[in-house]
Amino acid sequence: MAERVRFEIGPVPSALALDWLANSRGLVAAVREHQRCVAIDVREDMLDLCDVLLEIWTSHARKNDPFQWAQDTDTDQVLYLVRQWLEIGLLTDDELAHLGCTWAPASTRPFGDALVTGVLAVLAAAGDEGERLAARLRGG
């Protein structure tokens, strides 16, 4: 059963957030367009959710510096998002090259780290499935 939680990201410099978000939006768009060319599980509804959040965060970062965002949500929504995020994270270097994409630049790491921190806090409230996804997110 879903729990209500507060999903928080930041604070991080908005310029870093915007660079990370632009890269991620390009990656999601490329995966959507070329999903038959990649060896990951791609679900349109999950990509739609990724697109919505990336757009919300982009809009927020354009208006607020530093970037600091929070929203009440339920754990099921975050579990849903993290599953697709982890799938995209399985793309190989060859697949990324074929898509014309790269991972976000190292300079944007503070935003990526803040996002992971926020996601891990939500996953901690999501029971066994949250623990499994958190372990995968941490690389374990």
- Nearest-5° Cα angle at 9, 4 to 15: 155
pLDDT > 90 in the chain, percent: 81
Alpha carbon distances (Å) from 13 to 81, 83, 106, 113, 117: 24, 27, 14, 12, 16
Q: List the chain pLDDT tens, one digit each, 140 residues.
A: 678 999 999 999 999 999 999 999 999 999 999 988 899 988 888 899 899 999 999 999 999 999 999 999 999 989 988 998 999 999 999 999 999 999 999 999 999 999 999 999 999 999 999 999 999 999 86
Q: Which pair of structure tokens corresponds to residue 87?
A: 């799938």
Q: What is the mean pLDDT of the chain?
A: 94
Report pLDDT for 52: 94
Q: What is the pLDDT of residue 1?
A: 65
Chain centroid to Cα 84, Å, comes to 8
pTM over 0.95: no
pLDDT in tens, 72-83: 999 998 998 899
Nearest residue to 40 (alpha-carbon basis) of 49, 30, 31, 52: 31
